Amino acid sequence: MVAVTELEQEALLAAISEKDANIALLELSSSKKKTQEEVAALKREKDRLVQQLKQQTQNRMKLMADNYEDDYFKSSHSNQTNHKPSPDQIIQPLLELDQNRSKLKLYIGHLTALCHDRDPLILHGLTPPASYNLDDDQATWENELQKMTQEQLQSELEKGERDNAELQEFANAILQQIADHCPDILEQVVNALEESS
């Protein structure tokens, strides 16, 4: 499924590039009314393609998140019988959540860097969630997990799930801003997604 999505995104990027090239050629040619109409039509087609690319990118991010959740729930449910999970059975999903949170933070960092390089105003009005700015000492946190009660671990797990949902929502908001203001940056976003998967 991911390979098909990559191919669709590459096709959309190629089509967008082609529309850009045609628009540039027509804008350089004569200023006839027919040419202006062709430019407007090409721009509408390009906007439609950019929306499709944005949707593909969001679908791919959702698919990656869903795959993570599926893996998480499979491992959670396969470890459970009719009794409560042991603390060790909660720690592994917590570590996986933390790893996913780290990946989301890296991805958001990459997106914000792309925006700041192009135009810092793209991100105007967007505030990262508090979990984005938290930098826990990984070794200390993992040590603390070993000392927590089952209830504390469960609470930590719920917090991790909330943090990841907030980070995912923030990444989607950045993608929306990029699609609205600088759709050509989406090509770099797609490349970053390909490298991370």
Query: pLDDT tens track of the chain, all 197 residues?
Result: 555 666 676 777 777 777 777 777 777 766 666 777 888 888 888 888 888 877 777 777 777 766 665 655 555 555 444 456 677 777 888 888 888 888 888 888 888 888 888 888 888 889 998 888 877 677 888 888 888 888 888 888 888 889 888 988 898 888 888 888 877 777 766 666 666 55
Residue 145 · residue 153 · CB < 8 Å: yes
Residue 108 · residue 171 · CB < 8 Å: yes
Q: What is the pTM of this model?
A: 0.57
Q: Tell me how far apart the 2 most distant CA atoms of the chain are, in Å.
A: 77
Residue 111 · residue 189 · CB < 8 Å: yes
Token pair of 80 as six digits: 């459970």
Q: What is the DSSP letter of 86?
A: P
Cα–Cα distance for residue pair 10/13, rounded to 1 Å: 5
Find the radius of gyration of the CA atoms of the chain.
22
Cα–Cα distance for residue pair 27/43, rounded to 1 Å: 11
